[in-house]
């Protein structure tokens, strides 16, 4: 049986939006908020399909959108995140408040690709075009030494990636909520982040890594930023085998799936002192919004709970 169309195409407008349509959509969302895109067009009196409305709002009408050219800092963040995540535009957008995935994707294809080629970097692979590692490359890959922090049966490898987030501002809540939904790819590849604001990383050009190791199962890589920037965040990346999936679907097991869009990570808040952190290291499902260092109040429900748990653990160690 074929997939039913998302909307009745015969009675919907296509193409560029008119000012009146924009205004209708804005007015409706102002009153009713985002969501339920399927029924929105009818309720708002728009002859558009829900997908079209959603796209128009997210990419163009949202009030928190940043307009204008990308800054050099934004360029560098995009390049670095792309080298890490690939074409995960929504994930990258989640790190650039006010920018949309579509905008970043377009910008990548029209500007950054050329920029990278001029630097001698292959934009597809983010590796040097000539196959050697140039000093200009933003990301160098080296073997990582790891320590075993994982008590689960799934092999994980934690690596450090230092990214330059000098321009990082507090993300808008909408970015955070969107980010919460970006973890499928990371789940599938069992990739974990631990993002801290450890200033020592700024000074330490080596960004030492820690994490589990299983030489038989997981490749180990360390991505290391050239330490020429004044402020760098320490982003630990764990790469391992994909989480086991139920036999007939791509979903997680029942206990795992209790956490919607969950994100398995070593849940250690940045402020936890090292000994406590080491003791508290257990795999927990939390999402990227915490792992990316967002503050309480901007976290999703899952991360908020995880944060509270970890803080109580911290209290026990200090008390």
Partner DNA sequence: AATCGGTCCAACCGCGACGGT
Partner DNA sequence: AACCGTCGCGGTTGGACCGAT
Closest-CA residue to 303 (of 141, 193, 223): 193
Give the span between the Cα atoms of 161 and 127, in whole angstroms: 16
Q: Bridge partners of 140? A: 224
The answer to whether residue 194 forms part of the interface with DNA (CB under 7 A) is no
Please report where in the chains the tokens 């970006």 appear, as a residue.
182
The answer to whether residue 251 forms part of the interface with DNA (CB under 7 A) is yes
Contact 21/64 with Cβ under 8 angstroms?
no
Least distance to DNA from the beta carbon of 312, Å?
A: 26
Name the token pair of 186.
């990371």
Residue 70 is given by DSSP the state P
Choices 96-104, 115-123, 125-133, 150-158; region in contact with DNA by CB under 7 A: 96-104
Query: Residue 152 or 184: which CB sits closer to DNA?
Result: 184
Least distance to DNA from the beta carbon of 230, Å?
A: 29
DSSP H/E element including 174: helix 173-179
Q: What are phi and psi of 243, to 5 degrees?
A: -60, 145
Per CB under 7 A, which of residues 204..233 are in contact with DNA? none
Least distance to DNA from the beta carbon of 115, Å?
A: 11
Least distance to DNA from the beta carbon of 284, Å?
A: 17
DSSP H/E element including 93: helix 89-94
User: How many residues touch DNA (CB under 7 A)?
Assistant: 52
Of the residues 10, 11, 16, 151, which one makes contact with DNA according to CB under 7 A: 16
Choices 105-113, 156-164, 213-221, 287-295; region in contact with DNA by CB under 7 A: 105-113
Q: What are phi and psi of 199, to 5 degrees?
A: -70, -20
Choices 36-44, 150-158, 166-174, 217-225; region in contact with DNA by CB under 7 A: 36-44
Give the span between the Cα atoms of 306 and 300, in whole angstroms: 10
The answer to whether residue 154 forms part of the interface with DNA (CB under 7 A) is no
The answer to whether residue 171 forms part of the interface with DNA (CB under 7 A) is no
Give the span between the Cα atoms of 192 and 170, in whole angstroms: 21
Q: Which residues bind DNA (CB under 7 A)?
A: 1, 3-4, 6, 13-17, 35-39, 48, 50-52, 54-56, 59-60, 87-91, 101-103, 105-107, 109-111, 178, 181-182, 184-185, 187-188, 246-248, 250-251, 257, 260-261
């Amino acid at each position: 049986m074929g997939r039913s169309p998302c909307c009745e195409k015969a009675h919907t407008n296509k193409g560029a939006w008119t000012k009146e349509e924009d205004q209708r959509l804005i007015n409706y969302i102002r009153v009713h908020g985002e969501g339920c895109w399927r029924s929105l067009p009818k309720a708002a009196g728009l002859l558009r399909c829900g997908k079209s409305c959603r796209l128009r709002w997210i990419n163009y009408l949202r009030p928190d959108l940043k307009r204008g050219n990308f800054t050099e800092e934004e360029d560098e963040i995009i390049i670095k995140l792309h080298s890490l995540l690939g074409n995960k535009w929504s994930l990258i957008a989640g790190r650039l408040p006010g920018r949309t995935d579509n905008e970043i994707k377009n910008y990548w294809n029209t500007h950054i690709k050329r920029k990278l080629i001029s630097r001698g970097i292959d934009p597809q692979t983010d590796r040097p075009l000539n196959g050697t590692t140039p000093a200009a490359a933003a990301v160098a890959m080296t073997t990582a030494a790891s320590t075993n922090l994982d008590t689960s049966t799934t092999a994980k490898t934690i690596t450090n990636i230092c990214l330059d987030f000098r321009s990082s501002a507090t993300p808008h809540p909408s970015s955070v909520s969107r980010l919460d939904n970006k973890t499928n790819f990371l789940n599938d590849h069992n990739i974990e982040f631990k993002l801290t604001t450890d200033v020592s990383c700024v000074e330490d050009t080596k960004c030492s890594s820690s994490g589990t190791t299983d030489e038989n199962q997981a490749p180990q890589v360390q991505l290391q930023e050239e330490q020429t920037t004044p402020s760098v965040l320490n982003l630990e990346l764990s790469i391992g085998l994909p989480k086991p999936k139920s036999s007939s679907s791509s979903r997680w097991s029942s206990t795992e799936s209790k956490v919607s869009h969950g994100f398995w990570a070593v849940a250690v808040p940045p402020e936890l002192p090292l000994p406590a952190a080491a003791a508290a290291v257990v795999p927990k499902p939390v999402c990227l919004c915490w792992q990316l260092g967002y503050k309480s109040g901007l976290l999703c429900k899952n991360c908020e709970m995880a944060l509270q748990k970890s803080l109580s653990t911290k209290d026990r160690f200090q008390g």
